[in-house]
Amino acid sequence: MTENDFIAGISRRFPKQPPVLVGIGDDGAAVQVTGQRPVIVVTDMLLDGTHFHLSEIDPRLAGRKAMAVNLSDLAAMAARPTAAFVSLAVPVNRSRLPANFLDRLYDGFEELTRQYNFSLAGGDTNSWEGSFAVNVCLLGVPVSDTIPLRSGAQPGDLLYVSGPLGGSLHHQRHLLFSPRFDAAEWLVSHTKLTAMMDISDGLSMDLSRMMLASGTGALLEAAAIPIHEDVPGQLSPEARLTAALGDGEDFELLFTVPEDRATALAEAPLPLRFHCVGRVVEEPGLRIRTLSGDIATVAASGWQHQV
């Protein structure tokens, strides 16, 4: 079973109920615990050998990434972090891990708690015979009354990304990226977002999820998709496009805006730069106007776990 199918099944089985306003299926959940604004909750688990290789990187970067991917989810919900909860499964035998492994891991957490001014407020620490796993659960507060979801895209809306895509895994960008809080906060206060999420599993995979949630489809413009300089220049144009569509781990924002509210986007202050990559359409599925001008179907080619 694919991760998508699995999540769809779980979502049917556990329908949300008050005080949960937004449940399974978005980058985060919204829970109206008390007061006027809901709390936003995101969680992501990262595994050695899958999301990073501890044999190859400084543990600080593993800690940083575990926190940063959650911050990226929070940014996609247009929320700011308040408190993080870190659960660890640490190998009993750490002969293959660097000295001061845990200290350096927490250096990575601390880099981001300081930069974004939130607390590490709890967690759980375990040792076992297995490999290293880390789960971060992050609470945040919305920066405005608007909480952008995946499900609000409308036919005719323009489709944007917040930066160039592709090549992240081969150039440590997936370890060093900055969550797009500035972009998200500018967007909620300067335009109307109909849908937003972050790109973690590749543009084609994540866009297909957004369109499915919205009951719409999308027509991408190949010539308009910004390709990151991490994608090798010597590749063919088609191969470069494939990398931008499917590599994943970009942690840019993917969002939709009604066409008549899109003019503001061109006037965003630097370094913000938004790239219009296509349009939302009624017909389900993803299509693309290729570099040669043909319309082709896009397979959702990004990463998803098989569960």
Binding region for its own copies (CB under 8 A): 1, 3, 6-7, 10, 13-14, 16-17, 19-20, 22-24, 26, 28-29, 31, 33-37, 39, 41-45, 47-50, 82-83, 85, 87-90, 92, 102, 106, 109-110, 113, 117, 119-131, 133, 135, 137, 139, 141, 305-307
CB of 262 to its own copies, least distance (A): 30
| Residue closer to its own copies (CB basis): 127 or 263 | 127
96/266 with CB nearer its own copies: 96
* Secondary structure of residue 274 in the 3-state scheme: coil
Sheet with 217-221, edge to edge strand ranges: 195-198, 253-257, 158-161, 275-281, 217-221, 285-289, 295-297
The minimum distance between CB 102 and its own copies, in angstroms, equals 6
Alpha helices (runs of H) in 124-221, residue ranges in sequence order: 173-176, 181-190, 203-214
User: Quick one: which of 45, 189, 67 has its CA closest to 140?
Assistant: 67
CB of 186 to its own copies, least distance (A): 23
Instruction: Give whichever of 23 and 155 is closer to its own copies, judged by the CB atom.
Output: 23
Please give the helix or strand (H or E) that residue 60 lies within, else none. helix 59-76
Nearest to 62 by CA among 70, 50, 54: 54
To its own copies, the closest distance from the beta carbon of 124 in angstroms equals: 5
Q: Which residue do the tokens 């005719």 mark?
A: 156
Q: Shortest approach of its own copies to residue 120 CB, angstroms?
A: 4
Q: Minimum distance from CB of 285 to its own copies (Å)?
A: 24
The Cα–Cα gap between 167 and 247 comes to: 6
Separation of CA 244 from chain center? 15
Nearest to its own copies of 123, 285 (CB atom): 123
Q: Which is nearer to its own copies, 29 or 243 (CB)?
A: 29
User: Whose Cβ is closer to its own copies: residue 23's or residue 285's?
Assistant: 23
Q: Which is nearer to its own copies, 87 or 154 (CB)?
A: 87
| Distance (Å, whole) CA 261 – CA 4 | 31
Reference 207, options 159, 243, 257; nearest CA is 159
Assigned token pair, 220? 């991408």
Shortest approach of its own copies to residue 37 CB, angstroms?
Answer: 5
